[in-house]
Every structure is written in C-alpha cells, then in structure tokens.
Amino acid sequence: MKLRVEVWRQADPTDRGHFETHEVDGLEPHLSVLEMLDALNEQLIDSGREPVAFESDCREGICGACGVTVDGQVHGPEDNLPSCHQRLINLDDGASVRIEPLRSAGFPVVRDLIVDRSGLDDLIRAGGYVSINAGTAPDADSLPVGEQQAEKALDFAACIGCGACVAACPNGSAHLFTGAKLAHLSMLPMASTERQRRAHSMVRAAEELFGPCSYYGECARACPAEINLNAIAAFNHERMLAGLKRRL
Amino acid sequence: MPAHTRADKAATAVVQVGPPPVTNKRPQRNHLIPSWVLKVTMAVTGTLWAAFIAIHLFGNLKVFQGAQAYNHYAHWLREAFYPLLPKLSVLWAMRVVLGLALLAHICAAAMIWWRGREARGPHRAKIRGARAWGAWLMPLTGILIGCFIVIHVLDLTLGLGIQSAGFAAPISDESFAYENLVASFRRPAMACFYSLVMLLLAIHVAKGFTTMASDLGAMGRRWRATLALIGGLLAVAILLGNGAIPILVLTGVLS
C-alpha cells in the first residue's frame, strides 16, 4: 500500500516547525505506524536527507517510549493502543496521513516527533515512590494484601507513562497519570503510609506543570494501558482526604 | 590537596562540549487558588443550583393545577414560614445564597477554562464522542444559561425592559405569577427561547452531575452510576416539565 505522509519537522525546540510531505510506497497493512516511519527514514537516508527523529523502544506496547499523533489522534486511529501497535490497516491505501508529535504545552518539542516528557518524571519525583527503610527482608506474608485489592491496584499501576493522556486532553491535564499513581499507591499497605504527603505534593506538582480536568474523558480513550476514568476521581479523592487529615 | 576533595572537584566539574543545548522551558505556573479547589467549588455550587432547579421545577408543575394554585404557591414563597420567619426572609436568603453560588461557579469555570487553554498550548486537541462534546459544550451552555437567568429575572420577577405588556408585580396579599407567565409565553420568540434554554440546561445538568462525581472524588462504580442517573433523570424532568410549559401556553393548552 502507498501513503502520502505529512510529517512534522522541527530542527530544535526554538524552531517554529513545519509539515513535510513524502510518498511512501510498498507498505504492508500489518505494519505499525512506527514501521511506516522506519520505511520513510530509510527512504530519506537513501536520498541523503536527514531522517525523522522519533522515539521508540520495545515495540510491544509495554515501555511507553513511543508516541506520535496520527491525524490528530494520539498514538493513532485505534483507541487504547500505543503507536507501536497501531496498524496501517486502519488507513486507506493512497490516503494522506498527518504525523505530529504529542501536542501539549507541557510537552515541548525537542526535535521532529520527539517531545520532552520530563514533566511526568517531575510528578513521580514529587511523590510517586515509596520510602521504605530497607533492612532485613520481611516475611512474605507478614503484610497480607487481599487479592481484589491487589488486582485493583495493579489495574492503576498498569500505566506505562507514555503521556498519551496529557496529549489527548484538550486541557493539557495529567490527571489520569497522577490519579493512577495516587490510586495504586494508596491501595497498598506500605505505600499508603505516605498517602497524605504524597497527595499534597503530587497534586501541587501536577497543577504547576499541567492543566486542570474538565472531564472530557479523552485521556481514557487514548490510554494504551486502559487506565479507568476512576483515576481522575482518585486525584481529587486523595487531595480532599489529605486536606481533611493531618499532614504526615 | 587531600584525595577526597580532588575527587569531589572532578565529580562536580561540568565538561562543556560544543554550544549549550537549546532548550524550550516547560511552562510552570504557580496558581493562587489551586485548580482542585476551583473544581470542588464548582461541584458544590453546581449541586446547590441543581437542587434549586429541582425545587423550582416541582413548583412550576403547579401551573397544571390552574391559576389559583399557581398564584397561591407564588405568594406563599414570599412569606414562607411566616410568622416563624419574617416575610420575604426565605426568598431573600435564597437569592443571596444562589447569587453568591452562581458568582463562584462562573469565576471558577472561567479560571479553569483559561488554565486549560494555557496548559494545552496552541495545538488544539481533537474532540471525539459524547462525553468530550458534553464537556466542550459546558462553557457555551453555561454562558447561555447565565444570559437566560438575567432575562428570566427581568421578564418574570422584576418586570423590567422585556416583560410582557400585561406584567403585574405582586402586591402585599396576592401574586399574579400565572397571568404573567401566560402573557410572557404568548410571545412566540420568548416561548421558543425558554424551551431552547431548557434543552441546554438539561445537557448542562446531565453532564454536570458526571463531572461533579469525579470532582468530589467518587471512585466507586455504584456511586458514579447513581450520580449520573440522578443527573440524567433531572435533565429529563427539566426537559419534559419546564420545557413543555412555554409550548403548552403557545398552543393554547394553558391560558
């Protein structure tokens, strides 16, 4: 199959950026969006031009490194899939496809399709961790966690940190990401001891770096880890509870 | 030089190769009022208004019992709980509380809208599906409902500017709410405007309840479903109850 690819080119963060159009032929419908970019890059290298810079790592949907906007849709035309799993079969043969970086003021473009997602790292640094005095390893069953509770926490912990929620949000909000961290950590016994302090600092950081939530629900549609919209409720839930209780 | 100082120096020395990297700093904002406080404010004031709308709707239904019942109810509102409370006190308490709630709701909404636009940046996001369109409509329906409140008060409470020709203000022992309502809705433009705004209000309330569930941190599946159901039922009631009155006046069923 053949595609007319309009790809975003931006030399550095201060460049204005523009779209560049290329014809890519000989594509297979089962290829992913990233493999299409690989094909485009080979074409560019063969003709002695600079290849398009984009991020990717595992290509099996578990690392969260990849992420481009395809025709205005984060990751690609199918909901709840990362770019590396978005197949070209969803695009028409001969169609024009627009590839942009993830768009949000909190994700400034570094080069071409690569964006700076370190805002999410700042959120984790603000409290998305567990402080444990590591000593002798405790007995495996000394702190029992119910199966249901563990499964629920794991559902929220499925987040791969790709930033699709922020890029899909018309408000540029990181509520789904932050809420997922707050939710899964507050559900487990060791992590929940820092619950109030974590909610205070993570919510503050999220509001400084990203937008507010207006419940568009676009984040949950884009999320490759299928994080539930409950994570958004968790954001306010944890912050309100932390406001009511004494600070740790 | 002692060995450890030399090692420290080596560790902290910055080796610069080539020009410094060009960086585009991420925007960082320190808000005076946190967004989550604004959202909780909107949820609480919105719920207050939804409760008022439900009571108002229930009162409006007395229009189907005839002029006397409706006017009697309108008059009772002016001296509710008299002699326990002074006349007009309940009415004025409602006006003050609802007025302040509305002001807080609008201010918070404007701030959230602005912060959202800033945090998104110049490249707008794609809006897909009913939930997203509902959220997108919220400011728009909100502004129109705000305009409607002004017109509604001018038309049927104060009788200023846009009232019907036969508007009669309440006197000390009688109200003419029914006559005013019929006279106002005999005007097709006004009747259509009221019915249209009721449709927008229904959308605003239905979407508002689901957003409110999230803003107040309702994480349970049943909680969220219940709140969405209450919002949906209230929206349908607004559409069927309030929305029907102007049309029934216009078609001559109520006169």
User: Which residue from B138, B213, B219 is facing A214, i.e. has the nearest CB?
Assistant: B138
Question: Domain for residue B57, yes or no?
Answer: yes
Show residues of chain B in contact with A240, CB under 8 Å: 36, 40, 216-217
**Residue B39 has what pLDDT?**
97
Task: Give the model confidence (pLDDT) of A51-62 as tens digits.
Answer: 999 999 999 999
Give the domain CATH number at A153.
1.10.1060.10
Test mutation, B120, B131, B216, B222, chain A, max A CBs within 10 A: B120
Show residues of chain B in contact with A217, CB under 8 Å: 129, 131-132, 135
pLDDT at A212 over 90: yes
Q: Tell me, yes or no, if B82 comes closer than 8 A to chain A by beta carbon.
A: no
| Helix, strand, coil share of chain A (percent; to 5) | 40, 15, 50
Show residues of chain A in contact with B136, CB under 8 Å: 170, 216
**Residue A248 has what pLDDT?**
46
Show residues of chain B in contact with A14, CB under 8 Å: 22, 24
Q: Tell me, yes or no, if B36 comes closer than 8 A to chain A by beta carbon.
A: yes
Give the domain CATH number at B187.
1.20.1300.10
| CA B112 to each of CA A1, B35, B47, B71, B105: distance values in angstroms, whole numbers, following the listed order | 45, 7, 18, 41, 11
User: Which residue from B29, B121, B126 is facing A72, i.e. has the nearest CB?
Assistant: B126
pLDDT in tens, chain B (255 residues): 454 555 455 555 566 666 666 666 777 888 999 999 999 999 999 999 999 999 999 999 999 999 999 999 999 999 888 889 998 999 999 999 999 999 999 999 999 999 999 999 999 999 998 999 999 999 999 999 999 999 999 999 998 888 888 888 888 888 899 999 999 999 999 999 999 999 999 999 999 999 999 999 999 999 999 999 999 999 999 999 999 999 999 998 888
Range of the domain at B221: 36-117+131-250
Instruction: Mark yes or no for CB contact A213/B136 under 8 Å.
Output: no
Instruction: Mark yes or no for CB contact B22/A234 under 8 Å.
Output: no
Show residues of chain A in contact with B26, CB under 8 Å: 105-106, 108, 116, 118-119, 209
Whether residue A89 sits in one domain with residue A125:
no
Whether residue A74 sits in one domain with residue A189:
no
Number of domains composing chain A: 2
* Beta bridge mates, A97: A5
Question: Domain for residue B198, yes or no?
Answer: yes
Q: Are the C-beta atoms of A224 and A160 separated by less than 8 Å?
A: yes
Instruction: Mark yes or no for CB contact A217/B132 under 8 Å.
Output: yes
Nearest chain B CA: its distance from A167 CA (Å) = 8
Q: Are the C-beta atoms of A211 and A172 separated by less than 8 Å?
A: yes
Q: Tell me, yes or no, if B119 comes closer than 8 A to chain A by beta carbon.
A: yes
Question: Domain for residue B15, yes or no?
Answer: no
pLDDT at A208 over 50: yes
**Residue B254 has what pLDDT?**
84
As a whole number of angstroms, the distance between CA A98 and CA A154 comes to 35
The chain-wide mean pLDDT, for chain A, equals 94
- For B213, nearest residue in chain A (alpha carbons): A233
Give the domain CATH number at A105.
3.10.20.30
Show residues of chain B in contact with A233, CB under 8 Å: 213-214, 217-219, 224
Question: Domain for residue B6, yes or no?
Answer: no
- Kindly report the number of other CB atoms within 10 A of residue A57's CB atom: 11
The angle formed by the CA atoms of residues A139, A141 and A147, to the nearest 5 degrees, is 150
User: Which residue from B23, B40, B214 is facing A240, i.e. has the nearest CB?
Assistant: B40
Whether residue A66 sits in one domain with residue A122:
no
Angle between helix axes A195-209 and A118-127 (nearest 10 degrees) is 160
Range of the domain at A68: 3-111
Question: Domain for residue B41, yes or no?
Answer: yes
As a whole number of angstroms, the distance between CA A183 and CA A164 comes to 19
Task: Give the model confidence (pLDDT) of A91-143 as tens digits.
Answer: 999 999 999 999 999 999 999 999 999 999 999 999 999 988 778 887 888 88
Whether residue A7 sits in one domain with residue A68:
yes
Whether residue A107 sits in one domain with residue A15:
yes
Give me the residues of B, 120-159, that contact A with CB < 8 A: 120-121, 123-129, 131-132, 135-136, 138
**Residue B30 has what pLDDT?**
86
| Closest to A187 (Cα-Cα) out of A224, A158, A146 | A146
Question: Domain for residue B7, yes or no?
Answer: no
Number of domains composing chain B: 1
Q: What are phi and psi of A2, to 5 degrees?
A: -120, 140
Q: Tell me, yes or no, if B172 comes closer than 8 A to chain A by beta carbon.
A: no
Whether residue A174 sits in one domain with residue A89:
no
Whether residue A199 sits in one domain with residue A96:
no
| CA A47 to each of CA A18, B64, B123: distance values in angstroms, whole numbers, following the listed order | 20, 79, 31
Whether residue A148 sits in one domain with residue A37:
no
